[in-house]
Chains A and B, each alone.
Chain A
Amino acid sequence: MAKQTHKILKMGLMVISLFVLAACSSTSDTEGDMSGSEGSSSSANSSGSSARSSAGSNSGQLSQEEIRAQNALRQTVFYFDFDIAEFKTEDRNTLTFHARDLASSPSKRIRLEGHADERGTREYNLALAERRANGILNYLIVNGASRSQIEVVSYGEERPAQSGSSENAYSRNRRVEIVGR
């Protein structure tokens, strides 16, 4: 009798661990190819050149990953659609690189400066630009940055990157800038 309970318990544990495994694989699937390979590159960064030379066929991919990270970190301005507070999907990978960069250098401090175009009232634009910056703030934190590294400020429509009342100017003014501090 006791033996049978033990068996059932064992079976149960196996089923649970299977579920856990399944959950793990599904998250890495949804995060896409970038995050998977990015994980391996950050470990390569810390292990240095000796790992690279012994990695053989992997070495090309690793340095390519580093180049991708460096290119991504060069992009510090993120543009938004009209009246939308969420950053564009195409910026997600770049922002993930920024988050990991912050996570790997805990002394680094940045400021997220939110902006809006001139349409709509000043108060609303102040709030909208803050929400844009906060959206990026949350994404950076979820991806490894620490809250204390990031300061958020909203300038609303007060500091346009480009003056004028054209759609071209508006699209350049709806932005969040990552500024070092």
Chain B
Amino acid sequence: MRVTEHPLIDTEPSWSTDGRSIVFMSDRTGQPQIYQMELGANSYDVERLTYDCFQCMKAAFLPDGVNLVHVRRETRQSPNYQIAILNIETLRVITLTDTSLDESPSVAPNGSMIMYATKFAGRGVLDAVSIDGRVKFRLPSTQGDVREPSWSPFFN
């Protein structure tokens, strides 16, 4: 069943924790932004969730169903892509990382930390950050590119 019909890019869909809506990225307003679609019986209401970033993409809910981890580029001038959390009720944003090419965030099943891909010395590596942004560590990797991490449901 097709739920979006927009001619521009709609991608990166992710279910809400209650299964009633999908968050996705669309560049229908010119730049990638995050939208939420309520899946009603006969209607699909789309609401834009992000306004204060140049680009916001790759959204996924934390287990609390309120906080949305995403990849964020603040302004056109600042070239950094960072991992951030948006509370969709208060619209408060916390940027968790300070490296420049962060992507593919994957939330641990217990919601305590986020694994993500970034670049270090020209290679793809995996970093982790706690959801308050206070603890960060890098998974050791000696060669090649490591990318697109995904947590198992058993937190291991």
Contact = CB atoms under 8 A, between A and B. Distances in A.
Task: Determine if chain A interacts with chain B.
Answer: yes
B146 to A, nearest CB: 14
Contacts of A48: none
Contact of A124 (B32, B101, B122, B148): B32
Contacts of B132: none
Interface residues of A, number: 15
Given A83-B31, A163-B122, A128 B104 contact: no
The listed residue with most B CB atoms (<10 A of its CB), out of A83, A126, A131, is A83
Interface string A95-119: 0000000000000000000000011
Interface string B14-48: 00000000000101000110000000000000000
A123 interface: yes
Contact of B12 (A83, A119, A121, A128): A121
Interface residues of B, number: 21
Interface in A146-181: 163-165
A120 B11 contact: no
Nearest to A130: B9
A156 to B, nearest CB: 11
Contact of A123 (B11, B101, B122): B11
Sorted from nearest, which 5 A-B pairs have the closest CB atoms? A127-B9, A121-B58, A123-B11, A123-B12, A121-B57
Interface of A: 83, 118-124, 126-128, 131, 163-165
26 contacts: A119-B73, A119-B79, A119-B101, A120-B32, A120-B57, A120-B81, A121-B25, A121-B57, A121-B58, A121-B71, A121-B103, A121-B104, A122-B104, A122-B148, A123-B11, A123-B58, A124-B32, A126-B11, A127-B11, A128-B9, A131-B9, A163-B122, A164-B122, A165-B100, A165-B119, A165-B122
